[in-house]
Structure 1
Amino acid sequence: MQIPNRPPVVVGVNGTAAGLAAVRLAAREAVSRGTTLSVVHAFTWDAAEARQAASRFVEEAVRTAQRSTPGVGVQGQLVDGPAADVLRRFSRTAAILVVGDRDVTGSALLAVVTQAWCPVVVARGPRPPAGRVLAAVDGSGPSVLALRFAAETARRQGCPLDVAIVPGAGGEDRARQTLDDVIAGVPVRPDRARAARGRWRRAIRLGGLRGAATRRLSDRFRPWPPGAGRGEGRDAAKTRKQATRPAPIATVSKS
């Protein structure tokens, strides 16, 4: 059910498979939030044939959203301008902005992720995996926002919430204290919270959270199951493949 006056979910597309994966994720998010989906393609060419091709990108994305998530309210827009500028402008009035990991390239993706006015979700892989929600925190302001975003995502999706911190120079004891302080400051009680080591540290790295990036990222992922990688034969290989499926990454840098 769509709730009037709620900000839309915005997804940027560019005619690629990564863009359509982002559309499927964005459509699901729009329905779970009770809002509409806006499909946006930034256009910078002058040729009429190129504009027609761009319009077809948008039309295909709209059909993909309708097929993958029946009942989603969706509209497509072809907007003149560089991708980073267009998506940043749309982010001012969006609930979240979704892009594909290969749909917005290089410096444009970096600009969107770091300068958007709403949370940015980077879709990775052809279809969103089912699994837990992981918030990676470090005690900074943005990481608190990431935890709030992760908690709300877990609530809407009916998924367990995990919170992790990667110990730094201060060691594991200091990391655990920081983790406790962050959790105490938000109205959420995670299912699991711990310093990331072993399979947790590996899960964060598989999700794309490395180094300083951990401070602003929350990640929906299929966690590394106990014993994965230690067994033998086809069952172990299947478990390992499931555990390493790329998961969407959400960046949260503004309230």
Structure 2
Amino acid sequence: MSTTTSTPVVVGIAGAGTERAALRYAVDEAERHGRDLLVLHAFHDLPTGLPVNPLLTVGEQREAGRTVLDAAARDAAELSHGDLTVETALREGSTVHQLLDASRQAATVVLERREHSLVERVFAGSVLNGVAARARCPVVVVGAGWDPDSVQHRVLVGIEDTAVTTEALDLAFEEADQRKASLTVLHAWAAPTVYGDMVFARTSQATWQRETAQQLTERLEPWTGRYPEVPLDVRVAYDWPADALVRMSAEADFLVVGRRNRPLPGGLSLGSVTRAVLREARCPVAVAPVLDDE
């Protein structure tokens, strides 16, 4: 059955049968939002001077890539019971660049986080972070151990400060509404011990939490007005943000984080908290884009 929404869900696939969790999530996402699914595989043209054994020609790499895509398309059709339009794309070039290019015409890009050796972890992390930092649509990272049958009926969004991130909240409220789930908005902050002692010498932790929660609730009024049926839970924790988000992700179906409004020198748009959450979260994580950051 063909869908009518123009922008597809894109899932990046590296090898045959290797990204089952990402593929399952992408199929569910496409069906949930009435979109088509695009399965993408990218390969590099190996310079002929490299001592690769056996040396692969571009044609052989294309053939291998096509095998990967055909297998993924069959798996997607099986997961969707054939009720989803699945297309494939074989791209030559950097995986990050090809996924970034696809993100310009996509609703969502889905990638999988798997357990790797140290060297593989560096490469895989560079792909995940590289795409999440610069994609023009939300990027969802799904852990290999994700269980789609474990449903908590909760969406979680992390907010760095009371100056709320518009794109992250747009995505979080939309997902909570679509999933018929509650939304937990979490702001966590902690200072080094000596500074924490100074802060709470002037005010109590309970007072700080109560006043901060009130500020956040007021700033969320534009969203609560648009999504009155989404149950909202605003939480303020004196804790390291990454630790708090990872811990609470075990009780959520979906976690939304933002990226920097003003990238650091060199174009780094992902902060340390977002990178840590992408590595460790217990549920799928969406990085919301900042659409005017280019």
Compute the TM-score of the two structures, normalised by the length of structure 2: 0.67
> In the alignment, does 2:151 pair up with 1:130?
yes
Q: Contact (CA 8 Å) 1:98, 1:122: kept in 2 or not? A: yes
State the distance in 1 between where 2:221 and 2:176 align. 18
Question: How has the CA–CA distance of structure 1 residues 201 and 87 changed in structure 2, closer, same or farther, with 3 Å as cutoff?
Answer: closer
SS in 2 for 1:205: helix
Indicate the residue corresponding to 2:284 in structure 1.
248
* CA deviation after TM superposition for structure 1 residue 245, in Å: 8.4
Indicate the residue corresponding to 1:192 in structure 2.
233
Compute the TM-score of the two structures, normalised by the length of structure 1: 0.76
Q: Contact (CA 8 Å) 1:42, 1:80: kept in 2 or not? A: yes
Q: Contact (CA 8 Å) 2:45, 2:93: kept in 1 or not? A: no
SS in 2 for 1:7: strand
Question: How has the CA–CA distance of structure 1 residues 182 and 23 changed in structure 2, closer, same or farther, with 3 Å as cutoff?
Answer: farther
Match of 1:60 among 71, 78, 82: 71
Identity rate, percent: 29
Size of the aligned set, in residue pairs, is: 229
Structure label with greater radius of gyration = 2
Q: Mapping of 1:28-177 within 5 angstroms?
A: 28-46=28-46, 47=57, 48-70=59-81, 71-102=83-114, 105-126=124-145, 127-128=147-148, 129-131=150-152, 132-139=154-161, 143-168=165-190, 171-173=208-210, 175-177=212-214
Q: Contact (CA 8 Å) 1:62, 1:74: kept in 2 or not? A: yes
State the distance in 1 between where 2:12 and 2:185 align. 29
State the distance in 2 between where 1:217 and 1:145 align. 20
State the distance in 1 between where 2:138 and 2:181 align. 19
Gaps (5+ residues) in structure 1?
A: 220-243
Question: How has the CA–CA distance of structure 1 residues 144 and 67 changed in structure 2, closer, same or farther, with 3 Å as cutoff?
Answer: same
State the distance in 1 between where 2:275 and 2:222 align. 16
* CA deviation after TM superposition for structure 1 residue 50, in Å: 2.9
Gaps (5+ residues) in structure 2?
A: 47-56, 115-120, 192-198, 200-207, 250-254, 258-269
> In the alignment, does 2:8 pair up with 1:8?
yes
Most deviating of 186-195 and 77-86: 186-195
Q: Mapping of 1:216-227 within 5 angstroms?
A: none
* CA deviation after TM superposition for structure 1 residue 217, in Å: 11
State the distance in 1 between where 2:273 and 2:214 align. 17
Alignment-mate amino acid for residue 111 of structure 2: V
